[in-house]
A and B are shown apart, each in its own frame.
Chain A
Amino acid sequence: AQSVAQPEDQVNVAEGNPLTVKCTYSVSGNPYLFWYVQYPNRGLQFLLKYITGDNLVKGSYGFEAEFNKSQTSFHLKKPSALVSDSALYFCAVRGPPTYNNNDMRFGAGTRLTVKP
């Protein structure tokens, strides 16, 4: 079954600096990869996804992610962090569509704190 790992529980960056939130995945076949952000007491908000094509995916709020097949990674990045980016970030994966394969597996989450 597909799975993702987010090796860092917490990432701290200074406002204006670049940020990276790491994610690695494990799946049979080509993965569908997603990043979501969760603010306190809110539902998960979709940021971006990789399905196929260009390895660099651009998403909402200036975020982007780079798909690296050889390293089985899908790290989330932003060139210049904002204090308002502080939130919980989840990486998620779905395997290739097969019968009964709707299971989107989430990582444990990484708490991003951007300090002024």
Chain B
Amino acid sequence: AAGVIQSPRHLIKEKRETATLKCYPIPRHDTVYWYQQGPGQDPQFLISFYEKMQSDKGSIPDRFSAQQFSDYHSELNMSSLELGDSALYFCASSMGQGNTEAFFGQGTRLTVV
């Protein structure tokens, strides 16, 4: 079965650079979520989209922005990168919201040097 696809899998950037992470949800899923997981930490909710509109916002820094496109894929744009942004970034998708489970991608490991 098709899963959530994230690209790239690994990314190394220098401080103050920008990065773009991409997420392709499971076909027919209309909701996308972004999470950040630091080393040894639980996933922290960043932002979500339902039907291409932002549906909820968590602890996403102002330096980050995201959007969901007409084909339901989503991109997380990160600017002025800091060392503390080094983490595993997960995208998840679901069909609808509320009581539906989210399916996670493999994650993008971002390292800021």
Contact = CB atoms under 8 A, between A and B. Distances in A.
Task: Classify chain B's interface size.
Answer: 20 to 34
A102 B57 CA distance: 8
B22 to A, nearest CB: 15
Interface residues of A, number: 25
A51 B98 CA distance: 10
B106 A32 contact: no
B58 A90 contact: no
B55 interface: yes
B4 interface: yes
A56 interface: no
A96 B102 CA distance: 16
A18 B106 CA distance: 29
Contacts of B45: 103-106
| Contact residues of A: prevailing secondary structure | loop
Report which residue of B44, B57, B99, B103 has the largest number of chain A beta carbons within 10 angstroms of its beta carbon: B99
Contacts of A49: 99, 101
A97 interface: yes
Contact of A102 (B33, B43, B103, B106): B33
A45 B101 CA distance: 10
Given A90-B42, A103-B56, A105-B45, A43 B101 contact: no
A45 B103 CA distance: 7
A106 B98 contact: no
Contacts of B55: 100, 102
B75 to A, nearest CB: 18
Contacts of B101: 34, 46, 49
B42 to A, nearest CB: 5
Which 4 residue pairs are nearest across A and B when measured between Cβ atoms? A97-B98, A102-B56, A43-B104, A102-B48
